[in-house]
């Protein structure tokens, strides 16, 4: 098994098949270097969104169903531009 880079820790996770398919598609298209990179990026973005919400005292509680677009307010909190369309499967902000 390959060595783990300094500052990283090897873990095992269980993930839904559709999310894993999405990750694999994005690895194949070179959006992410690996599955680990995709998950590291996703958790980092979620942590940043959470920090921004806590700093601003606002919390969005609407559940975004798979295939829906983020509202302008959600985009602003997530620091996304109007061209950055994100869809999240049952993701709660």
Taking CA atoms, 49 is separated from 23, 73, 86, in Å, by 20, 12, 14
pLDDT in tens, 51-76: 877 777 655 544 444 445 566 666 66
pTM of the model: 0.58
DSSP letter at 11 equals -
The pLDDT of residue 2: 79
Residue 90 predicted with pLDDT over 50? no
Beta strands in 15-84 (DSSP E): 63-64
Average pLDDT of the chain? 75
Residue 14 predicted with pLDDT over 80? yes
Q: Tell me how far apart the alpha carbons of residues 17 and 68 are, in angstroms, rounded to a whole number.
A: 20
Q: Which residue has the higher pLDDT, 51 or 82?
A: 51
Beta strands in 1-93 (DSSP E): 63-64, 91-92
| Inter-residue contact 53 to 60 (CB < 8 Å) | yes
């Amino acid at each position: 098994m390959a060595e783990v880079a300094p500052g990283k820790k090897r873990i095992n996770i269980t993930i839904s098949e559709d999310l894993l398919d999405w990750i694999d598609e994005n690895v194949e298209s070179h959006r992410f270097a690996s599955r680990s990179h995709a998950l590291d990026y996703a958790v980092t973005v979620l942590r940043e969104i959470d920090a921004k919400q806590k700093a601003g005292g606002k919390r969005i509680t609407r559940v975004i169903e798979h295939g829906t677009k983020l509202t302008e307010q959600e985009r602003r909190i997530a620091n996304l531009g109007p061209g950055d369309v994100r869809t999240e499967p049952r993701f709660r902000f």
